[in-house]
């Protein structure tokens, strides 16, 4: 998962934001529709998973091409074109994630309940510890 995706998850998991602030941010993301805002975030994470899967598959394909015969030179040219195209898609995806994160942060920044980054990380760590404890039972 990208750094931006991880930051969006941490932001959404932060219990310090009030409901009106969060719903306002969702409404802004969705162009005056909370439902569209949630759908936008869902589409972002669906694409995030697809890109992560693709990166793993592409790595295996590239390694196989390197081990190949002289035809590997031709494959190298095609692979370069694919990588450039993929990087453009990833850059567009990352821009979308930053836009979502910026909107969430901006639209909720007016709240008096602003929680520090340390508190957010502590809450996330506590949540992960609780999940691990329940998994071990």
State the SS3 of the chain.
CCHHHHHHHHHHHCCCCCHHHHHHHHHHHCCCCHHHHHHHHHHHHHHHHHHHHHHHHHHHHHHHHHHCCCCHHHHHHHHHHHHHHHHHHHHHHHHHHHHHHHHHHHHHCCCCCCCCHHHHHHHHHHHHHHHHHHHHC
The predicted pLDDT at position 25 comes to: 86
The predicted pLDDT at position 112 comes to: 43
pTM of the model: 0.47
The predicted pLDDT at position 118 comes to: 61
Block means of pLDDT (10 residues each) for the chain, 137 residues, are 81 80 86 88 84 69 54 55 82 89 80 56 68 56
């Amino acid at each position: 998962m990208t750094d931006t995706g991880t930051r969006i998850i941490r932001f959404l998991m932060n219990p310090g934001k009030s409901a009106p602030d969060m719903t306002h941010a969702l409404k802004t993301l969705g162009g005056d529709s909370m439902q569209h805002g949630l759908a936008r975030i869902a589409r972002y994470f669906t694409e995030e998973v697809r890109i992560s899967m693709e990166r793993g598959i592409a790595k295996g394909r590239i390694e196989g091409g390197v081990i190949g015969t002289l035809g590997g030179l031709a494959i190298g040219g095609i692979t370069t074109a694919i990588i450039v195209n993929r990087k453009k898609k990833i850059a567009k995806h990352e821009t979308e994630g930053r836009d979502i994160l910026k909107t969430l942060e901006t639209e909720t920044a007016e709240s008096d309940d602003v929680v520090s980054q340390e508190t957010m990380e502590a809450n996330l760590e506590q949540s992960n510890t609780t999940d691990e404890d329940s998994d071990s039972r």
